[in-house]
Amino acid sequence: MSRLHRCLMLLTLALFSCQALAQEQANTLPDSLGKWYKPQNKRQVWLHTMFAMRRELQALQEYADEGDLSGVKKWSDKLLKHYRHIPEMVPEWQDELELETATDLEQAVANADLPRIKSLSRDLARSCKGCHRDFRVLAALRYRTAVFNDVMVSENGQQIKFLDFKHELIRTLNRINISAEDARWDNATTAVEQFESKLDAYGNSCASCHDDKEPRERILGAATAAGLEHLKQAIKRQDHKDTGRSLGETAVNVCARCHGVHRTLAEIRQQLFGAD
Ligand code: HEC
Ligand code: HEC
Ligand code: HEC
C-alpha cells in the first residue's frame, strides 16, 4: 500500500468516525432536560422559557431599532436572565451557550452602544439556532409526543391495551372485506357490527388524554358514523363494489387520519428513544 493510499484511508476513517460521533450526539438528549417537562415537572418549564426568550429577543431588537434604550435595558435583562439559566437547567448543554456574548451584550447595554447591541443580539440569536439545529425536534419528540403504552381500551367490561387493540381493529376491518369479497354477507354484517362496537370502545379511550370532545369527534364523530351507516346499507344490498369503496373511505377517515396525527410521531419517537 502506498503512503498516499494509507493516508487517504486514515482520512476516510476519521471522517466516518466524526460523522458517527455527530449522529450519536444528535440522538442523545441529556436526562436533566426531562426535569423541565411533564410529568417530572408540573409545567412545561423548558418550552415556556423558550417562548419567553423569543419574545424578549424580539422586544430587545425592536427597541434597539427604535433607539429606545430603556426598552432595550428592560428586555435584555429579562433575556439574559433566562439565557444564563439554561446551563443551570441542563448543565450538559453548557457548551451550546455563548456566555461571553451575553456578557458583552450586557456591557454594550450599559454603554448605550446601539450598533454593538444590535450586532451582539444577532450573535446571541445564532447560538439559539445552533442548539435548535441539533436538539429541538428531538426534544419535542421525546417529551411532547403522545405515548400510548399505558392507555387501555375497555370493551364489554374487559380491559385491553390500546397497543393490542389495534390488531383486533385491523382484523375486524379485513374480515368485512374478505366476507364481502367471498359474498358471505351474513359474516360481513356480523363483522361490521363488531367493528362499530370496537370503534366505540376505542373512542372512549381518547378521553384518557383528551379532556375535550373535539379530537374524538374529528376522527370518530358524525362523519364516521354516517360512513359506517353507508357501509351497512351496501352490505345489506349485497353490493360488493360499494362495500369496498365504503370500507376504503372509513379506513382513510378513521385509521389514516389518526395515524397522521398520532401514529407516525409515536413510532418515530419509539424508533429514536425506545418504548418507554
Ligand atoms: C442549549 C440549547 C438551546 C438554546 C441555547 C436555545 N434553545 Fe430554544 N429550544 C431548545 C429545545 C431543545 C427546544 C425544543 C423544545 C420543545 O419543543 O419541547 C427549543 C425550542 C424553542 C422554541 C419553541 C419553538 C417552537 O416553535 O416550538 C423557541 C421559541 C425557542 N426555543 C427560542 C429560543 C431562543 C430565542 C433562544 C436564544 C436566545 C434559544 N431558544 C436558545 C434548545 C435551546
Ligand atoms: C396518550 C395520550 C393521547 C391519547 C390516548 C389520544 N390522544 Fe390525541 N392528542 C394527544 C396530544 C398530546 C395531542 C396534541 C395536541 C393536544 O394536546 O390536543 C393530540 C392531538 C390530537 C388531534 C389533533 C388536535 C385536535 O384537537 O384535533 C386529534 C385529531 C387527536 N389527537 C385525536 C385523537 C383520538 C381520536 C384519540 C382516541 C382514538 C386520541 N387522540 C387519543 C394525546 C393523546
Ligand atoms: C388514536 C388514533 C388512532 C386511530 C383512530 C387508529 N389508530 Fe392505529 N395506531 C395508532 C397509534 C398511535 C399507533 C402506533 C402505536 C405504537 O406503536 O406506539 C397505531 C398503530 C397501528 C398499527 C400497527 C400495529 C403494530 O404494532 O404493528 C395497526 C395495524 C393499526 N394502527 C391499525 C389501525 C386501524 C385498522 C385503524 C382504523 C380502524 C386504526 N389503527 C385507528 C393510533 C390510531
Q: For 25-74, what is each residue's pLDDT tens digit?
A: 546 899 999 999 999 999 999 999 999 999 999 999 999 999 999 999 99
Q: In the structure, what pLDDT confidence band is assigned to residue 130 with cuts at 50, 70 and 90?
A: very high
Ligand 2: residue of 262, 264, 267 to mutate (most ligand atoms within 8 A of CB) is 262
Name, in order, each residue with C-beta under 8 angstroms of 185's C-beta and a sequence gap of 6 or more: 179, 235, 238
pLDDT at 26: 47
Distance between CA atoms of residues 272 and 276, nearest Å = 11
Exposed/middle/buried for residue 105 (C-beta within 10 Å: 0-12, 13-18, 19+): buried
Distance between CA atoms of residues 245 and 234, nearest Å = 10
Higher pLDDT, residue 23 or 65: 65
- The minimum-distance atom of ligand 2 relative to the CA of 147 is 1
Question: Taking 90 as the threshold, does the pLDDT of residue 20 lie above it?
Answer: no
Is 207's C-beta closer than 6 angstroms to any atom of ligand 2? no
263 CA distance to ligand 3 middle (Å): 6
Is 215's C-beta closer than 6 angstroms to any atom of ligand 2? yes
In this predicted model, what pLDDT tens digit does every residue of 97-126 receive, in sequence order?
A: 999 999 999 999 999 999 999 999 999 999
pLDDT at 101: 98
24 CA distance to ligand 1 middle (Å): 20
**Residue 71 backbone zone (phi > 0: left; psi -120 to 50: alpha; other: beta):** alpha
Is 258's C-beta closer than 6 angstroms to any atom of ligand 2? yes
CB 224 within 8 A of CB 217: no
Distance between CA atoms of residues 220 and 71, nearest Å = 50
Ligand 1: residue of 28, 50, 121 to mutate (most ligand atoms within 8 A of CB) is 50
CB 56 within 8 A of CB 78: yes
Distance between CA atoms of residues 171 and 179, nearest Å = 12
In this predicted model, what pLDDT tens digit does every residue of 76-86 receive, in sequence order?
A: 999 999 999 99
In this predicted model, what pLDDT tens digit does every residue of 139-191 receive, in sequence order?
A: 999 999 999 999 999 999 999 999 999 999 999 999 999 999 999 999 999 99
